[in-house]
Amino acid sequence: MAPRKKQDALLPSTDKELKDTLWKAADKLRGSMDASQYKDVVLGLVFLKYVSDAFTARASALTAELTEEGYDAEAIAETLEDRDEYTASNVFWVDEDARWPHLVQMAKVNDAKTIGQRLNEAMDLLMSDNPSLAGTLPRVFNNSSVDHRRLAELLDLLNSLRFSGQGASRARDLLGEVYEYFLAKFALSEGRRGGEFYTPASVVRTIVEVLQPREGRVYDPCCGSGGMFVQAEKFLAAHDDDPMKLSVYGQENVESTWRMAKMNLAIHGLNGNLGPRWGDTFSLDLHQGVQMDYVMANPPFNIKDWNRVESDSRWTYGVPPAKNANYAWLQHIISKLKPTGTAGVVMANGSMTSKSGGEGEIRAQLVENDLVSCMVALPEKLFRSTGIPVCIWFFAKDKSAGRGGSVDRRGEVLFIDARNLGHMVTRAERAFSDADIKQIADAYHLWRGMEVLDLGTKDATATESSSPAPESAEGTGTGTEPVETTFPDGAYRDIPGFCRSVSLAEIKEAGYALTPGRYVGMAEAEADDEPLDEKIARLTTQLREQFAESDRLQAVVREQLGRL
């Protein structure tokens, strides 16, 4: 048998190749498992790798500190087993039997315990030693449908990750990227159900870049796997701001998704309050009475079966219909905002014009109370999980000057038609480039008189030098082009076909329809100075030349057929 190569040789050189390699390795586990169980197994291992690496990094740093201070080996060993030395640095305590090197070693031992049993026990130890993880981690590793041989191989591959010379923060960032990459892959493989826990990154980034969450409380009432919070943290990090300035609040109704969100926040070093357990936001608001600075959400669209109570105090602007929860989500979100709070909410396009079940009257009240600050129409195919066209509602409790912007925009709404933006990353999926997101964000910021910043969250695919746009891509942007502003003079202006500031009176005249295309008009046609008679002559000549070429090619084909 040929000698086995070192596992390190399997690891590629770039982040993109690394994530692809890990996904292919993890995908071998699929076997007879259903998608949800498969997801729990893989994401649970990624989380376990992270907490163990963070623990080891803290232990190494602590050893170096104590050695420099002159402590002897016995004192150092005793201090290394002091849990407070880890928890004080926001690092989870990891029992020796739950540490990654130990588990990898035991995976190769042939005894009474399977690697699945050991992993379940490791999860139990983590949850018992760290109360914030109680009830969070998966315990599915010893199920009969799990291939233990492949499970051990995946442990071995993850074990070969090396971050020497790059620091613990780089390790955390990379594992965080792997986790997000896996979430996207799972969402893609699960189709429509994948939309329950994953919002496309470019949509999340658009909301974050428009709202610029810098300080205070950020909330998502249907937080899925926590992507809104992660992008908010990235925004602060990109602007060299302290992520601790944001307090994270969230709620999620699906147990497995709530667990994913808890792990996702932990991997990114975020201390989020997602409630003591999962739960329905309409039945029980786990953060009742807490007012938020920012709300960012992608609620499930058009829910027909939801827990509707007509007397609910959240229905300030009208009772939502029993067969559609869209306006229940919108009013719940508005009810959570501080007097200076802002929100960005992804909704189905029908929410902008629907009049069924009293929705038209509720929308009129939202407009008349000057709560709507901006409406953005999005292009098709941003969501692979649904073919429903979508938009983003932006709310602001106070649009006066000095309350989030230097320009008084009371009595106005900004409409942005972004349906022509984006590029195809596959034949079925579209994404926004950095330039697209900046175009939308700049329009809003200049309209409000806010500071125009460089993009604070970068698309991971845009930074992969080894990952060019697919050959099948359509459109112009690839996510790697220089990001330039659509407003070079630094002032807002209406741009036909893209954006327009509209008075509430005009919206009222339109029956309170909030579809951007209704207001922004058509893009200005490019100037054409060619005289009409010359253009007709030129085009006629081109057409005759094409006809002649067609005749020539037909003759060639007939000749070749005659030789058969």
CATH number at residue 64: 1.20.1260.30
Q: Per the structure block, which two tokens stand in for 289? A: 């009475």
Number of domains comprising the chain: 2
Does residue 309 sit within a domain?
Answer: no
Q: Are residues 96 and 25 in the same domain?
A: yes
Q: Are residues 136 and 22 in the same domain?
A: yes
Does residue 492 sit within a domain?
Answer: yes
Q: Are residues 342 and 430 in the same domain?
A: yes
Q: Are residues 387 and 412 in the same domain?
A: yes
Distance CA 203, CA 432 (A): 8
Closest CA to 296 of 340, 259, 343: 343
Q: Are residues 95 and 212 in the same domain?
A: no
Give the per-residue pLDDT at 459. Answer: 47
The model's pTM: 0.78
Distance CA 95, CA 108 (A): 20
Q: Are residues 215 and 117 in the same domain?
A: no
Detail the DSSP E strand segments found in 382-513: 390-396, 412-417, 423-424, 430-431, 499-503
Identify the domain containing residue 52 by its residue range.
Answer: 7-186
Q: Are residues 167 and 213 in the same domain?
A: no
Does residue 216 sit within a domain?
Answer: yes
Query: In a 10 Å sphere around its CB, with 0-12 CB exposed, 13-18 middle and 19+ buried, how is residue 409 labelled?
Result: buried
Does residue 32 sit within a domain?
Answer: yes
Distance CA 226, CA 220 (A): 8
**Domain-ending residue, one of 156, 186, 216:** 186
Give the per-residue pLDDT at 461. Answer: 36
Give the per-residue pLDDT at 148. Answer: 85
Q: Are residues 139 and 209 in the same domain?
A: no
Residue written as token pair 């692809």: 20
CATH number at residue 344: 3.40.50.150
Does residue 546 sit within a domain?
Answer: no
Does residue 179 sit within a domain?
Answer: yes
Pairing of strands 372-377, 337-348: unpaired
Q: Are residues 492 and 352 in the same domain?
A: yes
Pairing of strands 272-273, 246-250: parallel
Does residue 130 sit within a domain?
Answer: yes
Element of type H or E holding 376? strand 372-377
Q: Are residues 148 and 32 in the same domain?
A: yes
Tens-digit pLDDT profile for the chain (564 aa)?
344 444 444 444 456 666 776 677 667 777 666 666 777 888 888 889 888 888 988 899 999 999 999 999 999 999 999 999 998 888 899 999 999 999 999 988 887 789 999 999 999 999 999 988 888 898 989 988 888 888 888 888 777 765 434 444 555 566 666 766 777 777 666 544 444 556 888 899 999 999 999 999 999 999 988 889 988 988 998 888 888 889 999 999 988 889 888 888 887 778 789 998 899 999 999 999 999 999 999 998 899 989 999 999 999 999 999 999 999 999 999 999 999 999 999 999 999 999 999 999 999 999 999 999 999 999 998 886 667 789 999 999 999 998 888 999 999 999 999 999 999 988 878 899 999 999 999 999 999 999 888 776 554 433 322 222 333 333 333 333 445 567 878 899 999 999 999 999 999 999 999 999 999 988 665 556 677 887 788 888 888 888 888 888 888 888 888 877
Q: Are residues 90 and 225 in the same domain?
A: no
Give the per-residue pLDDT at 79. Answer: 93
Q: Are residues 141 and 201 in the same domain?
A: no
DSSP assigned state of 110:
-
Beta carbons within 8 Å of 466's beta carbon, 6+ residues apart: 14, 16, 17
Separation in Å, CA 543 to CA 4, 199, 553: 65, 47, 15
Element of type H or E holding 216? strand 216-220
**Domain-ending residue, one of 125, 152, 186:** 186
Contact 413, 373 (CB under 8 A): yes
Does residue 1 sit within a domain?
Answer: no
Give the per-residue pLDDT at 96. Answer: 93
**Domain-ending residue, one of 186, 218, 241:** 186
Give the per-residue pLDDT at 301. Answer: 87
